[in-house]
Amino acid sequence: MDSIVVTGNGPLKGSIPIAGAKNACLALMPATLLSEEPLTLTNAPRLSDIKTMSSLLQSLGGEAMPMADGKVLALSSHDLTSTRADYEIVRKMRASNLVLGPLLAREGHAEVSLPGGCAIGARPMDLHVHGLEALGAEIELRDGYLHAKAPGGLKGAEIRLSFASVGATENIVMAATLAKGTTVLNNAAREPEIVDLVKCLRAMGAQIEGEGTDRIEIQGVDRLHGATHQVVADRIELGTYMLAPAIAGGEVECLGGSLDLLGAFVEKLDEAGVDVEATENGVKVRRRGDRIQAVDVKTEVFPGFPTDLQAQMMALLCTAEGTSVLEETIFENRFMHAPELGRMGANIEVHGGVATVHGVERLKGAPVMATDLRASVSLILAGLAAEGETVLNRVYHLDRGYERLEEKLQACGAKVERVSGQ
């Protein structure tokens, strides 16, 4: 099994290209199930999760082929042969559940295994199920599968989510595009990935209004057609690489990034002592002083501080001057990186959903283990400024969400190397 070795090597200098958003692409790909015509996605990230979703679509009889340099995905579902999303594929990735809504809308029935992915909390399917049931679906759980059918077809309805779930919003919006009548989804998620999905669906002929707000209205149509759509930049990858010079020092420009994607995160960086500047080509980041200032962080749904940047922010605050408090409100069990940072000399106390970080002057390299996708990259960031060598194991988590990470950091002077397992 591969590992990544990071050696603290001083300030960073250079530029890092930001890939297309993993979470956006994983919602866009199932949209092909809504139409018999081809869907082409450009600026797609080259990640293991994208391959997993491709395998899932192919298992249903669809086509999912990377083109050019892998950043273009050619998708087609003109002749589906199955509506069963099998456990052996779905268990690998949470986003596999996003085939449920499109399959129900187009075929009138589906069997989807309960999903897997990172071990960062239960993340139940109840919001997806309740929303689809409001549209007329009949769904029951048997043998680990959601057995869903809509014998009379899906019909528009007024739905209110008890929590602004991104996945539930995506599943319901996709299903509603082919439902009869009008669907109004209240307390909808507002994330940029939702906006990107709606742009794509609209290009396919869907009639949708209100994306980016907490009220989305969908007027069902009889059919959708093919389209070409560019995947939005990955705001989590952007935030991650913005933290690299904040932690290690120096100055890095993130090419293709936009500050509009990360308002609350940028505010916290400024509060901590990090300069962030919009440029013609992206975003430039530099640390103002020798040491970061402690700040308090509370994760929230968009436009609040992203839960997917909490682990990376904790890595930054490990060497801050003062004490920081991080409150996780989105997922339980998402502080599993804290003990690993502790192995590097961090002083962190965790009580339930709150972590208290007492800043230390310097971290020290150590062997550490990735517990989930974002935790893995937080340990690499910590290693950039640690004394000595940090060895990260279980890097398959990292490969789910970051493409060519070693190359991107190396281009800025970081000493990061992937070592193949025996």
* For range 88-96, the mean pLDDT: 88
> Domain spans of the chain?
3-18+233-419, 22-230
Cα angle, residue 243 at apex, residues 237 and 246 outer, rounded to 5°: 160
| Known catalytic residue at 118 | yes
pLDDT tens track for 376-399: 999 999 999 999 999 999 888 898
The answer to whether the 3-18+233-419 and 22-230 domains have the same CATH topology is yes
**Tokens at residue 102, please?**
């499109």
Fold of 3-18+233-419: UDP-n-acetylglucosamine1-carboxyvinyl-transferase; Chain (3.65.10)
Q: Is the pLDDT of residue 264 over 80?
A: yes
Q: What local confidence, expressed as pLDDT, does residue 406 receive?
A: 96
- In the block, tokens 């940072």 appear at 341
Domain 22-230 has CATH 3.40.640.10: no
pLDDT tens track for 266-316: 999 999 999 999 999 999 999 999 999 999 999 999 999 999 999 999 999
Q: What local confidence, expressed as pLDDT, does residue 422 receive?
A: 56
Q: Is the pLDDT of residue 12 over 90?
A: yes
DSSP SS3 for 101: helix
Q: Is the pLDDT of residue 119 over 50?
A: no
Of 395 and 228, more confident: 228
Cα angle, residue 125 at apex, residues 263 and 192 outer, rounded to 5°: 20
Q: What is the 3-state secondary structure (H, E, C) of 244-311?
A: HHHHHCEEEEEECCCHHHCHHHHHHHHHHCEEEEECCCEEEEEECCCCCECCCEEECCCCCECHHHHH
- Provide the strand spans (E) within 126-195: 138-142, 145-149, 158-160, 182-186
Tell me the C-alpha distance between 177 and 342, whole Å: 48
The alpha carbon of 308 is separated from its chain's Cα centroid by a whole number of angstroms, namely 7
pLDDT tens track for 216-227: 999 999 999 999
Annotated binding site for UDP-N-acetyl-alpha-D-glucosamine: 94, 123-127, 308, 330
* For range 20-32, the mean pLDDT: 97
Burial class (CB within 10 angstroms; exposed 0-12, middle 13-18, buried 19+) of 119: exposed
Q: What share of the chain is helix, strand, coil (3-state, %, to 5)?
A: 35, 30, 40
Asked if residues 252 and 384 have their Cβ atoms less than 8 Å apart, the reply is no
- In the block, tokens 């395998």 appear at 55
pLDDT tens track for 176-193: 999 999 999 999 999 999
Q: Is the pLDDT of residue 149 over 50?
A: yes
Q: Quickly state the pLDDT bin for 17 (edges 50, 70, 90).
A: very high
Q: Which of 25, 118, 200, 412 is catalytic?
A: 118
Beta pairing class for 282-287 and 250-255 = antiparallel
Residue 403 amino acid letter? E
Asked if residues 89 and 52 have their Cβ atoms less than 8 Å apart, the reply is yes
Annotated binding site: 22-23, 94, 123-127, 308, 330
Asked if residues 152 and 136 have their Cβ atoms less than 8 Å apart, the reply is yes
* For range 209-217, the mean pLDDT: 98
